[in-house]
Every structure is written in C-alpha cells, then in structure tokens.
C-alpha cells in the first residue's frame, strides 16, 4: 500500500476514475461540483475588501460571489497540500522556476518565465470567471453533468489553448 | 473542512497523474501528450455514471447553469490563451506549487488578478456581452429532447471509443 502511494506516477485512467469517485462524494456530501476558479475570485474579493471594504461590498460581482474562505477556497489549498504529499512521497518534489519544456524553447531566464506566467495567469483568471468556470469546474464537473455550457466551454478552452500553444511553440508534426 | 480533504485527495491524484507538470500540459496542447485528456475523460466517464445514478434515486441534484456565446465562448477562448501561456490551469497550478514549481505560484497570483479585473469589468460586461446568445437549455438531454440515460450511455460509449483510439495510436 505504501509502495503504491510512493510511486512516481499512476495510470491516467486510475487517476481519472479516482477523480470521478471524488466528485461522487462532493455531490453526495457537500452538494457541490468540483471547481477551482471561484477560489481565485474569492481571493481577489478579499484583497479588494482589505483595500476598501465599502467599495468591495458595493461591487455587483462580489454581491453575487461573496468573498470568503469557503469550501472552494479550502479545496484549492487542499490541492496544493495533496500534490505536495504525493510529490514528497514519491521523491519527485523539485523546486524550479523555469520548467524544462519552457527552457528548451525560450531559455532559462527566470524573469521571462515569470512574466509569461503572470500574463498567462491574468488571462486565465479573466477567462475562467468570464466563462463561469475552469477546466475542473466546466471541463470535468460540468461535462459529466452533461451541461451544455460546460461542453462548449471545454471545447473553447482547448481550441484556444491549442491555437495559442501552436502559435507560441509550433506543432511538431507540421 | 470537507473541502480541504477533498482538495488534498484531488491534488494527490492530479500529481500522481502527472498533470501538474508544465511539460505534460503543454504537451497536451501541442497534441504530443494526451495524458490530460485521458485523465479528464476517465473522470467524466466515472463521474457521469455515478452522478446520474445518484440523481435518479434523488440522492443528489445537478449544478448546471445556462451559458451563452458572449460568456462561455468568449471567456473560454480567453481562458485557452491563458492556458497556453501559463501552462497550468487554476487547479493544476496549485498542484504544481505543491510539487515545487514556483512559476505556478506567480501564475496563481496572476489568476487572482485576472479574476479581480473581471469583477471590476463585470457590470459593463454583464450589460453588453455576457448575455448575448444565451444557450437554450442547461443540459444536453434537454437540448436534444432525449432521455438523460440515453445520452449518458451514448457519451459513455463515445468516451470509451476515444480512449481506445488514443491507446491504439500509441498515446
């Protein structure tokens, strides 16, 4: 059992099935789908509240999505912890700033990688809230519920992602 | 509390699956590595069957909301662009930080900033764009006028077919 937990990687089918079962429990015990982007909206709202509570409370968006350390927020913290546990147990924990695949294409400049991470993150945060969910919320939880919006969202996530990735890196098979 | 435990399990699984890795995610977007799709489709297959089974016995309810061209399509494409530039998603970014990737931490800060920008733009966007081209129904069975379980079985067969095809192609 411990050996299994210490493996560097598991079959994607097993991982996916595990996530599926996890979602069963989320629906059953928490009456919620699994989703990650609301946590970031909450964080933004909490920062706005810290800067000016009155202004934040007046914003329509934060009336709809009340900034709080809620179930979703704890979920994302949990993801961080869970991934650390897994990496630690399998000895794959490695501190890095520039991922190898990025370095191969663009060099090891940490500042460049940080800038792309920031810009990409901003676009992602904007897009996720705009679309009403991310690859977990729409891409997995929504599609399994056969939600029309989620299927469309998932297709657009990947269409946009593939297009821009191709523009940035170039496709190897072309 | 349950959120935290669910998250820990989620993060553990994601890391074991390799999808918290920048190379794996970019590999998916460049269509050379299909791990991400394999994980997602497996999750959808298992999740769909379980949730719809529980739904038919009244144990759970669905949480689907109507989308629109202005919100879902536009937002989805913007997300996709960010996805390719950052190389993580909101969930896997947290997982990546847990695995030691500091660039993912910067990404997480960016996502929060982006969410904050959206919140500020929200009143204008809601008025002008987000409600354009609202989708007619919440779920696919309703859209097609077919009973849910038939769609579930159809989608299930489709997913198994895609996973089999990917395996045969050597991914």
Q: Which residues of A touch B155 (CB under 8 A)?
A: 146
Note the pLDDT tens digit of each residue in A42-72.
999 999 999 988 888 889 999 988 898 999 9
Residue B93 pLDDT level (bands cut at 50, 70, 90)? very high
pLDDT at B86 over 80: yes
Task: Give residue A172's pLDDT.
Answer: 84
Residue B109 pLDDT level (bands cut at 50, 70, 90)? very high
Q: Which of B15, B27, B54, B100 to mutate to test the interface with A (most CBs of A within 10 A)?
A: B15
What average pLDDT does range A71-92 have in this prediction?
A: 95
Give the SS3 label for residue B30: coil
Task: Give residue A154's pLDDT.
Answer: 97
What average pLDDT does range A69-92 have in this prediction?
A: 95
**Quick one: CA dihedral A49, B81, A138, B12, positive or negative?**
negative
Residue B92 pLDDT level (bands cut at 50, 70, 90)? very high
Percent of chain B with pLDDT over 70: 100
Contact A134, B96 (CB under 8 A): no
In sequence order, what DSSP letters do the residues of chain A get, joined into one string? Answer: -HHHHT-S---HHHHHHHHHHHHHHHHHHHS----SHHHHHHHHHHHHHHH-HHHHHHSHHHHHS---S-HHHHHHHHHHHHHHHHHHHHT----BSS-HHHHHHH-S-HHHHHHHHHHHHHHHHHHHHHHT--TTIIIIIIHHTTBHHHHHHHHHHHHHHHHHHHHHH--TT-
Q: Which residues of B touch A84 (CB under 8 A)?
A: 11, 98-99
Question: How far is the C-alpha of A17 from the C-alpha of A31, rounded, in Å?
Answer: 20
Q: What is the mean pLDDT of chain A?
A: 94
Instruction: Say yes or no: A67 contacts chain B, CB-CB below 8 A.
Output: no
Cβ of B63 within 8 Å of Cβ of A157? The answer is no
Q: Which residues of B touch A57 (CB under 8 A)?
A: none
Percent of chain A with pLDDT over 90: 85
Give the pair of three-digit tokens for residue B10.
């989620």
d(CA B150, nearest CA chain A) in Å: 12
Residue A140 pLDDT level (bands cut at 50, 70, 90)? very high
Question: How far is the C-alpha of A132 from the C-alpha of A149, rounded, in Å?
Answer: 9
> Which residues make Cβ contacts (< 8 Å) with residue A108, sequence separation at least 6?
A98
pLDDT at B27 over 80: yes
Task: Give residue A85's pLDDT.
Answer: 96
What average pLDDT does range B143-153 have in this prediction?
A: 95
What average pLDDT does range B48-69 have in this prediction?
A: 95
Contact A113, B88 (CB under 8 A): no
Q: Which residues of A touch B111 (CB under 8 A)?
A: 37, 40, 121-122, 124-125, 128
* Residue bearing the bigger pLDDT, A58 or B157: B157
Range in A2-11, A72-81, A138-147 the model is least confident about: A2-11
Residue A102 pLDDT level (bands cut at 50, 70, 90)? very high
What average pLDDT does range A130-138 have in this prediction?
A: 95
Q: Give the A window 69-98 contacts with B, CB below 8 Å.
A: 70-87, 90, 92-98
Residue A116 pLDDT level (bands cut at 50, 70, 90)? very high
β-strand partners of B101: A96
Task: Give residue A57's pLDDT.
Answer: 86
pLDDT at B138 over 80: yes
In sequence order, what DSSP letters do the residues of B101-163 get, joined into one string? Answer: BHHHHHHHHHHHHHHHHHHHHHHHHHHHTTTTTB-S-SBHHHHHT--HHHHHHHHHHHHHHHH
Task: Give residue A55's pLDDT.
Answer: 85
Range in A65-74, B36-45, B94-103 the model is least confident about: A65-74
pTM confidence score: 0.94
* Residue bearing the bigger pLDDT, A12 or A53: A12
Q: Which of A8, A23, A149 to mutate to test the interface with B (most CBs of B within 10 A)?
A: A149
pLDDT at B164 over 90: yes
Q: What is the ipTM of this complex?
A: 0.94
Question: How far is the C-alpha of B61 from the C-alpha of B171, rounded, in Å?
Answer: 36
d(CA B92, nearest CA chain A) in Å: 8
């Amino acid at each position: 059992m411990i050996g299994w937990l210490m493996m560097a990687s598991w079959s994607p089918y097993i991982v996916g099935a595990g996530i599926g079962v996890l979602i069963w429990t989320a629906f059953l015990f928490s009456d919620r789908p699994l989703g990650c982007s609301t946590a970031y909206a909450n964080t933004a709202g909490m920062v706005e509240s810290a800067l000016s509570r009155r202004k934040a409370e007046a914003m329509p968006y934060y009336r709809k999505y009340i900034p709080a350390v809620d179930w979703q927020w704890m979920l994302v913290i949990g993801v961080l912890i869970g991934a650390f546990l897994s990496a630690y147990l399998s000895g794959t924990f490695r501190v890095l700033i520039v991922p190898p695949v990025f370095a191969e294409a663009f060099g090891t400049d940490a500042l460049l990688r940080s800038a792309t991470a920031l810009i990409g993150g901003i676009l992602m945060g904007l897009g996720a809230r705009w679309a009403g969910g991310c690859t977990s919320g729409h891409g997995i939880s929504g599609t399994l519920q056969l939600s029309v919006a989620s299927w469309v969202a998932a297709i657009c996530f990947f269409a946009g992602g593939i297009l821009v990735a191709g523009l940035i890196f170039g496709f190897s098979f072309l | 509390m349950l959120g935290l435990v669910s998250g820990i399990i989620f993060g553990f699984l994601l890391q074991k699956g390799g999808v918290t890795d920048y190379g794996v995610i970019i590999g998916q977007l460049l269509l050379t590595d299909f791990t991400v799709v394999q994980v997602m489709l497996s999750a959808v297959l298992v999740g769909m069957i379980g949730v719809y089974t529980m739904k038919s016995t009244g144990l759970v309810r669905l949480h689907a909301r109507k989308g629109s061209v202005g919100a879902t399509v536009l937002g989805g494409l913007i997300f996709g662009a960010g996805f390719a530039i950052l190389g993580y998603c909101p969930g896997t970014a947290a997982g990546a930080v847990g695995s030691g990737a500091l660039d993912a931490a910067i990404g997480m800060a960016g996502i929060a900033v982006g969410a904050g920008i959206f919140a500020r733009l929200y009143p204008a966007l809601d008025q002008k764009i987000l409600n354009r081209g609202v989708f007619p129904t919440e779920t696919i069975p309703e859209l097609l006028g077919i009973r849910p379980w038939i769609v579930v079985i159809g989608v299930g067969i489709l997913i198994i077919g895609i996973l089999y095809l990917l395996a045969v192609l050597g991914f």
